[in-house]
Chains A and B, each alone.
Chain A
Amino acid sequence: MTRSSFLNGQTALVSLGASVPGIFARGVVAASNEGSAPNKTLVILQLAGGVDGLNTVVPHKDPAYRDARPQMALAEQSLLPVNDRAAFHPALSKFKDLFDSGKVAIVEGVGYPNPTFSHFKAMDIWQAADPQGSLENGWLGRYFDGLTDLQGHPLAGASVGSRLPKAFYADNATVAAIANEQTFGLQPAFGANDNADRTASLLKMYDLYRPANMPYAALLDTTLDNAQTASAHLQKAAAAYKPAVQYPQTPLASGFRILAELIDSSVPETGLRVGQVTVPGFDTHTNQPSRLEALLTDTSNALSAFWADIVGHGQADDVLVLAWSEFGRRVKENAQQGTDHGSAGLMFLLGGQVKGGFYGAPPSLHDLDDGNLRFTTDFRSVYATVLERWLGAPSDAILGKRFDQLDFLPT
């Protein structure tokens, strides 16, 4: 069902006088996900733009790597080797500490059949979990649509950023987009004495806007109502939360910090099930060496601070981070110190329950598909594993069919 047909359905309900605040959330009745582990949180880290997997987890012993990258192959002595085959980019020293502690699983050769090289289409495919590109909702939206206990928990899903990622598009459930913690709430009139009256009147207006033939009445009322509740929960969480570490001063680290607040178990109403932070800019067609170094440094440091904070709050066993990017990059470097869009790439997972190491299979540098790596592992296998073993949700219903699971999480 499309979003608009869903809303039309709601308008019909409203005209029958059934409108109440929160109607969208209350309308969720599917029982398929009963038994979901309630205290588990999944954090999605989107590395947007297409990460160059080969210069991130480097196949440094393979001569084909240096042949393909005469200008941009990383110097052997700068690399951070993790085994006799793979080494990390030098900017990933903190990430390597996490890996060495056994809490990071790296999945190599991730992709899907007939890959697209368009950012737009590839992101849609990953977020809808649908290589045909026909689904309008997202894989996490479908997960939320199956939950029965969202009422009163508008921050069960929260994405940091002003636009909601397609992965969270749902037919019924609403997921909050938090652009900025400071502005996530109704601003009072400066110096005024009647702000409480003004806000009460505002909310009442939305409540009143629901007799027959009032377009979008339920959507507007529910959006403001959920936003107000979410803002109150976020403020309460922020007041109760004491970071265990000093976060770096970057947008990504601030985003992780907001999610850490929502995960903090001392404020039970928030109940974050799935959160997302995004780091943009991995589309390194030009000047890749300096840009990739800055991006990986930010990612590694912010993730490391977040994880130390989670560990400091005793929540390591309840949090799982899943990182993805819409594609890897071309094996051969281009003439402008960069790499063009490719196909198979990397995912990684971090968590107290994660069995660290390498999963999937490293793609061959010798058997390429028109200059691109051939994928060895369908990204939906990773999603299926996380849905079944972490979120306790039926992966075949959410992904449309059954995929082999990987063993980075215990069954």
Chain B
Amino acid sequence: MPPEISTEPSERKLIRRRVSRRALLAGSVIGAQVAGAYAVLGDPLALFGSSGASDGPVGEAVRGDTKAIFKESVRISHLLRRTGFGVSPAEYDRYQGMGLQATLDELLNYDRIDDSEAVAAMQKAGEGIGLVPTVNSWLTRMAMTKRPLQEKMTLFWHGLLTSQLSVVVDREAMEAQVDIYRQQALGSFPTILKAVWRDPAMMEYLNIDGSERNAPNENYARELMELFALGIGNFSEKDVREAARAFTGWHVPRQRGGREGKYLLKTPVFRPQGFDRGMKTVLGKTGNFSPDDIVDIVVAQPASAQYIVRRLFEFLVYPNPTDAELEPFVEAYTKGDRSIRAAVEAILRSDVFYSPKAYRAFVKSPVEYTIGAIKALNGQGQLEELTAGNPRLGGVTGQMGQTLYEPPDVAGWPGNTSWLNASTMFARINFLNTVTGGAPNRRNPNATPAMGPRGLGTAAQALDHFVPLVLDDNISDEMRQLLVAYAGGADSTLTPEKLRGLIYLVLASPQFHVC
């Protein structure tokens, strides 16, 4: 049953104001006239930003819908969700104060920013053995980093050029692989591909290790073409078999030991006698190719530019773009000497990135969902305390279907709608119960969850703080009324329990699942 709507005076006023807005919108008034009508109403939450009237059609916008993307403050929040993991209240104020262009410039030029605090926090969180500290360590870096785009692109590469800790076994080797992605996050695509086949974890994962000229293992050559850099339909089985001959002769020595007490992968060793020196014909080129030559041949294919730009677009903008929609970014990538930065920058500066079709176009991954909630609660500095219930954060994202360092298979996480099923829905919402203080903390009963700034004494104050922060100030009037009704009225004093409940509801909203 929906809660009854309170009829105390302050709230009646609120409802009347919103009803009259809806009545206006239902009429034929459009564009500047609507904006003018808003000004007359004295609405401080103007629906359309300065760019709205000129940038796009606004006539039928209703609070809550995708045309909110025409407002600059929403564009900034949208950009930060896609290029990072959400924002803390202080970051929100800072980026909103800087404006869209300066925010974008700072995100792209992250190498100028000192991130040593996040690095130190990551190391501390990673102390101990087992999967949970391994995963928590990276999650901590994601939550603490001042270089969100670098960390987000690192996650992109981890989901594209995959390896699984359960197969590789050596945790340090997996962390070193992810560090390659971090260093090369916006680098040149061929440079990244040339670093990754040499990586001991990758050699182990896709069987370059031990592949000999007498019996070349096709695993790496196949995935390089099928999943990493070219896409199915753009190569033949013969291309795979021939390319596999170039990835022969390498061996990854193992040493007993390591933090987990298993083994460490050491620097790969090349044994010339195991390498196939014969002529190879791959994608129409013939020669005595080395692995780096194969990378160059693959990335020179027009289909490779299409493939990597599509993967970037589907990570940053929306699913299933047409080839025509990709074209400007394929061109930027190709003209930019196959630089990932060129493609990403062109995407982030494009109109299509800030279009209604791109707005809320993905279901958030578990990592985005959990870190976004923690940052909204200003809890990024106390990840351990906030999530030290059972299971801890690394285990929680696993319940939601995403364990860092452990993609489900070589194709990575399928993402988007596949994140949602009955169990993962409960895991997502129950995690919010934990971080808003609804679950007793078994490991540290004295820890108090972060709740944002002091002084959120009423529902109106709490909603005015959290709804812009996490929902772009873009929820329907009915939803706001529902939240106010739950709290017992807009201006009545909130008990701690009601404040926790209200924050839980804002974060558990359907809008917070999407990004």
Contact = CB atoms under 8 A, between A and B. Distances in A.
Interface string A229-266: 01100000000000000000000000000000000000
Contacts of A205: 479, 482-483, 505, 508-510
A201 B426 contact: no
A200 B430 contact: no
B411 interface: yes
A4 B422 contact: no
Contacts of B434: 187
Contacts of B401: 162-163
Interface in B357-415: 359-361, 363, 398-401, 408-411
Given A217-B510, A220-B510, A208 B482 contact: yes
Contacts of A189: 433, 436-439, 497, 500-501, 504
B446 interface: no
A211 interface: yes
A213 B420 contact: no
A226 interface: yes
Interface stretch (B7-15, B61-69, B171-179, B272-280): B61-69
A346 interface: no
Contacts of B2: 200, 204
Identify the 4 closest CB pairs spanning chains A and B, nearest first.
A189-B438, A227-B422, A213-B65, A209-B510
13 contacts: A120-B409, A164-B421, A176-B422, A177-B423, A183-B423, A187-B433, A189-B497, A202-B508, A213-B67, A215-B359, A221-B510, A223-B425, A227-B422
Interface in B56-82: 62, 64-67
A184 B423 CA distance: 6
Contacts of B437: 189
A184 B422 CA distance: 8
Given A204-B2, A223-B425, 6 more contacts: A4-B417, A177-B421, A184-B426, A213-B356, A215-B360, A219-B363
A179 B420 contact: no
A212 interface: yes
Contacts of A194: 497-498, 501
B504 A212 contact: no
A101 interface: no
B514 A215 contact: yes
Contacts of B425: 223-224, 227
B92 interface: no
A7 B1 CA distance: 28
Interface residues of A, number: 53
Given A179-B399, A220-B513, A223-B420, A187 B476 contact: no
A345 interface: no
Contacts of B438: 187-190, 192
Contacts of A223: 420-422, 425
B3 interface: yes
A110 B190 CA distance: 43
B427 A183 contact: yes
A200 to B, nearest CB: 6
A18 interface: no
Nearest to B363: A216
B281 interface: no
Contacts of A162: 398-401, 423-424, 427
Contact of B430 (A154, A186, A221, A230): A186
A163 B408 contact: yes
B514 A201 contact: no
A185 B478 contact: no
A208 B434 CA distance: 25
A201 B486 contact: yes
A61 interface: no
Contacts of B436: 189
Given A162-B398, A163-B401, A187-B438, A179 B486 contact: no
B422 A183 contact: no
A85 interface: no
B440 interface: yes
Contacts of A190: 438-440
B62 to A, nearest CB: 6
A94 B500 CA distance: 52
B326 interface: no
Contacts of A120: 409-411
Contacts of B439: 187, 189-190
A219 B417 contact: yes
A197 interface: yes
A402 interface: no
Contacts of B504: 189, 198
B429 interface: yes
A110 to B, nearest CB: 23
B6 interface: no
Interface in A90-120: 118-120
Nearest to B166: A280
Contact of A216 (B430, B440, B513): B513
A193 interface: yes
B511 interface: yes
Contacts of B421: 164, 174, 176-177, 223, 227
Contacts of B328: none
B497 A179 contact: no
B322 to A, nearest CB: 14
B452 interface: no
Interface in B475-515: 476, 478-479, 482-483, 485-486, 497-498, 500-501, 504-505, 508-511, 513-514
A200 B399 contact: no
Given A189-B501, A212-B65, A202 B429 contact: yes
Contacts of A154: 422
Contacts of B513: 216, 220
Given A186-B429, A193-B497, A194-B497, A206 B422 contact: no
Given A189-B438, A194-B498, A176 B423 contact: yes
A192 B504 CA distance: 13
Contacts of B290: none
A171 to B, nearest CB: 13
